[in-house]
Amino acid sequence: MFGLFKKRKPSVVIATLNARLQPLDRAALEEAFEAAMTVRGHRIRVVGGGTQMAANGEVIECDIEIEIDELSELTVDAVTETLATMLAPKGSTLYLSEQDRRIDFGAGTVTGRFRVELPGRQFIAVRIRAVS
């Protein structure tokens, strides 16, 4: 009645990574990110993504569309900190469309290795090298 008990719609945010990742590398990052969110108990999922290419076919940047059940500063921090820990170089942004707000984030390195422990599985380990 009057929408008081209606379930709130999840929010979709877009992480734009200042990284020249090939689609398969981005997919590995998305899988590891989603696993990390699940392990930490956040209801956050990857729902899409894309790779922006220049006219000459070179990768410019990539996007990851992320669905968050309960958008808050805590969940936004979890997303940006996890992506920065995994790879995201400086110049990456998180766009919150509901608030028309961009948040800058990113680590200082573009090469690295990360490992996510998973219940029932040993781990997911990904090594990514971004070309600058």
| Domain boundaries along the sequence of the chain | 11-129
Q: Alpha helices, DSSP H only, in the chain? A: 23-39, 73-86
Query: If we measure between CA atoms, which residue out of 100, 92, 68 comes closest to residue 19?
Result: 92
Query: Which residues have C-beta within 8 Å of that of residue 72, sequence separation ≥ 6?
Result: none
pLDDT per residue over 90-99, tens digit each?
A: 899 999 999 9
Contact 82, 37 (CB under 8 A): yes
3-state DSSP assignment of residue 65? strand
Report the topology of domain 11-129: Alpha-Beta Plaits (3.30.70)
pLDDT given at position 132: 44
pTM: 0.76
Confidence class for position 85, pLDDT limits 50, 70, 90: confident
pLDDT per residue over 1-51, tens digit each?
A: 566 666 778 999 999 999 888 888 899 999 999 999 999 999 999 999 999
Contact 68, 77 (CB under 8 A): no
pLDDT given at position 73: 94
Q: State the pairing for strand pair 111-118/92-96.
A: unpaired
